[in-house]
Amino acid sequence: MLESCADPSSLSGLAWFACYLTTGKHMAFYLSFGTVLLLLVITAPAALLFGFGGALASRSGIAPLRWFGRAYIAMVRGVPEIIFFLFVPLAIDQGFEYLRHKVMCPDWSEPIRQGNDFVVCTAAKLPLNADPQWMHEIYGFLLAILAFAIVYGAFAANTIRGAFDAVPRAQIETAQAFGMTGRQVFWRVHMPQMWVYALPGLSNLWMILTKATPLLFLLGIEDIVFWARELGSMKTRAFAYPHPNWQLWYFLGLLVFYLGLTRVSEMVLARLNAHFSHGQATLAGRGQGGIGR
């Protein structure tokens, strides 16, 4: 904060707003936009990885693997997202602590489940109570990423499985007739054409994921929604910068941010769709002067 902001009560007009918008809490608010973007950057490929795993498992010739893949897709898609966002981080956190407890505290004689409480030895806690606050925040953020990846990975798996099935069977049979192995058919025929059919669904999924980022607030992470509520709520004379309820303006700023992010996403996705459709015997490919025009 600037030295001129040392006494907020002596400020007015633009000087008051300049100091108000550069407080430590506002700096945390600005950084929280980076938290949302970081979540998207990490979660998108992670969810895609889960999606590929689920799609390949659901199409596997090994029955148990196929059942697992289809159960994963059906279970996650059939349960409200908010339940998974609240359940998955808690379940994973307790699972990690349980395993650490068994390894690090083998002489523990008390039950881990004590009524509604989950009690493990101090050395097994994640993170440790003595760890700095930033480690607690990073750990919570990683659990949130895993929860988002599992949930949206199931939706991606369903989209990718449908895209694999949409590749014309005649092209696969032709590749096999030319002597290609199963792996060559998969990488040279199935994968390149699958993206053409999967990208529209994955594009919609990206938009849904973008709109779901405010759920970080429910996981106890100080994201843009948390700070918009905190900073916009009414501040009395007990605060350094008293003001009426300004939540409307803060959430209006979030609206502009998400609209801008959506617009940029649409432009990038349009370029990706044009890239993967080029030369393909599809309506989009023909529109670019590709095969079959």
Same-domain pairing of 34 and 126: yes
The separation between the first and the last C-alpha atoms of the chain, rounded to the nearest angstrom, is: 63
pLDDT for residue 293: 42
Q: Across-strand partners of 107? A: none
> E strand or H helix at 9, and its extent?
none
pLDDT at position 156 is 92
What's the rounded Cα separation, in Å, for the pair 2 and 18? 9
**219 plus 248 within the same structural domain:** no
User: Does 178 reside within a domain?
Assistant: yes
Are 42 and 144 within one domain? yes
Q: Which of 59, 12, 248, 67 is nearest to 162 (CA)?
A: 59
Are the C-beta atoms of residues 223 and 216 closer than 8 Å to each other?
yes
Tell whether 202 and 259 lie within a shared domain.
no
Q: Rounded to whole angstroms, what are the CA distances from 185 to 53, 85, 169, 275?
A: 18, 38, 11, 21
pLDDT for res 283: 46
Q: What is the structure's pLDDT at 136?
A: 81
Q: What local confidence, expressed as pLDDT, does residue 280 receive?
A: 57
CATH number for the domain including 57?
1.10.3720.10
Rounded to 5 degrees, what are φ and ψ at 235?
-115, 125
CA-to-CA separations, 27 to 133, 196, 284, in angstroms, rounded: 17, 42, 45
Q: What is the pLDDT of residue 252?
A: 95
Q: Which helix (H) or strand (E) holds 177?
A: helix 169-177
Same structural domain for residues 276 and 133? no
Domain count, the chain: 2
Question: Per residue of the chain (293 residues), what is the pLDDT tens digit?
Answer: 566 777 777 778 888 888 888 888 899 999 999 999 999 999 999 999 999 999 989 988 889 999 999 998 888 877 887 888 788 888 888 888 888 888 888 888 888 888 778 888 888 888 877 778 778 888 888 888 988 899 899 999 999 998 888 888 888 888 888 888 888 888 888 888 888 888 888 999 999 899 888 888 777 788 899 899 999 998 888 788 888 999 999 999 999 999 999 999 999 988 888 877 665 555 444 455 544 44
Q: Are residues 96 and 167 in the same domain?
A: yes
Q: What is the DSSP string of 197-265?
A: HHHHHHHHHHHHHHHHGGGGGGGT---HHHHHHHHHS-B-TTSSS-B---HHHHHHHHHHHHHHHHHHH
Residues shown for the chain = 293
| Domain membership flag for residue 106 | yes
The answer to whether residues 124 and 252 belong to one domain is: no
pLDDT at 47: 93
Q: Which one, of 151, 133, 154, lies nearest residue 143 by Cα?
A: 151
Question: What pTM value is reported for the model?
Answer: 0.79
Q: Name the token pair of 40.
A: 């998207």
Beta partners for residue 118, in sequence order: 113
Distance CA 14, CA 7 (A): 15
Verify that 125 and 96 share a domain, yes or no: yes
Residue 193 lies in a domain: no
211 domain-assigned: yes
Please check whether residues 105 and 202 belong to one and the same domain.
yes
Predicted local confidence at residue 218, as pLDDT: 76
Per the structure block, which two tokens stand in for 102?
A: 């068994």
Q: How far apart are CA 29 and CA 46, in angstroms?
A: 26
Residue at 120: amino acid letter: V
CA separation, residue 28 to residues 21, 172, 216, 226 (Å):
11, 53, 15, 11
Same domain membership, residue 248 and residue 156 = no
Residue 127: asked if its preceding bond is cis (omega within 30°), the reply is yes
Q: Are 202 and 156 in contact (CB under 8 A)?
A: yes
Give me the domain span that covers residue 272.
244-293
